Amino acid sequence: MNYIDTFIVVAEDCPVSHSVVPESKADRKKSVAVIQYELLAEKPYELTQEDVLFQTHVLHKQVPADELKASGAPMREEFFAQPQPCLRTSPLARKYGWGFHFDSAGKVALYPVESSEYQQFSCEASPSLGQRLKAFRSSRG
């Protein structure tokens, strides 16, 4: 389920032209966008897509650390027993202006849409940089 040598560009209907760091509302638990941003901003090229998806699930559901330590492997297996949406559906790429780059080991990093690195990775004229995919649109129209 992990991407290799792939860049996911922001969705065609992304509402921002400069990346935005997602923020939590004070009275609510962290959103998926905030969790994914924090994971990837703190650990570029350290996590695979599966790591990000599972850690996001665990943090969003607020699974206690002792429960995760005791049954993390079976919990992860159960999580991936069901189909999971890939990072092309992430709000970071759909609403907040962040692209995802996966290296040859399948590890992922975030790139803001306005950065020179984003422009380089997203350039269709650079096939040596790997596969280029679009994030899914937020609207169907």
- pLDDT band at residue 141 using 50, 70 and 90 as cut-offs: low
Which tens digits make up the pLDDT trace of 107-135?
999 999 999 999 999 886 566 678 999 99
Mean pLDDT of the chain: 93
The pairing of beta strand 98-102 with beta strand 6-9: antiparallel
By three-state DSSP, how is residue 51 classified?
helix
pLDDT at site 45: 98
Residue 138 in this model has a pLDDT that exceeds 90: no
The pairing of beta strand 131-134 with beta strand 6-9: parallel
pLDDT over 70, % of the chain: 95
- Provide mean pLDDT across the span 86-100: 97
- The C-alpha atoms of residue 31 and residue 132 are separated, in whole angstroms, by 27
- Crossing angle of helices 49-60/32-42, nearest 10°? 130
- The C-alpha atoms of residue 78 and residue 54 are separated, in whole angstroms, by 10
- Provide mean pLDDT across the span 20-32: 90
- Provide mean pLDDT across the span 60-66: 93
pLDDT at site 28: 84
Reported for 36-39, long-range contacts at CB under 8 A and 24+ positions apart, including other chains, are 36/87, 36/90, 36/91, 36/92, 37/92, 37/96, 37/98, 37/110
